[in-house]
């Protein structure tokens, strides 16, 4: 992808996926965590696939982080990641679940206890 003025790539994003519009893996999400499998990259990878593998060589990334680094839409990175998973070059795991919310009653009791300590 050749950059041009304004920072926009000269090559449209859909060409980076070979014209494929939907990923072959439906379980991939925007926050799925991608890591390289450690397998050597075969010849014949597209430039975008090679760039994604290179970024994953530095450590795990979520799909949205990879999209930002590659300056591609998330939908394109989902297609690229799915293709690399199909070729056993990338591993993906489910997003890290959000932390459970604290019990509001517990927070109120802690705040009341801190206020009591302050007034002693």
Burial of 79 from C-beta contacts in 10 A (0-12 / 13-18 / 19+): buried
pTM of the model: 0.68
Q: Dump pLDDT digits (tens) for 22-78.
A: 676 678 899 999 999 998 888 989 989 999 999 999 999 999 999 999 999 898 999
C-alpha–C-alpha distance, residues 14 and 2, integer Å: 14
* Partners of 62 in beta bridges: 33
């Amino acid at each position: 992808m050749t950059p041009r003025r304004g920072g926009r790539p000269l090559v449209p994003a859909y060409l980076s996926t070979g014209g494929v519009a939907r990923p072959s893996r439906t379980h991939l999400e925007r926050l799925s965590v991608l890591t390289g499998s450690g397998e050597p990259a075969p010849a014949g990878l597209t430039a975008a696939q090679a760039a994604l593998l290179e970024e994953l060589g530095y450590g795990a990334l979520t799909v949205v982080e990879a999209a930002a680094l590659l300056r591609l839409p998330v939908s394109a990175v989902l297609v690229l990641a799915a293709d690399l998973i199909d070729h056993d070059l990338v591993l993906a795991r489910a997003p890290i679940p959000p932390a459970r919310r604290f019990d509001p009653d517990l927070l109120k009791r802690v705040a009341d206890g801190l206020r009591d300590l302050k007034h002693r």
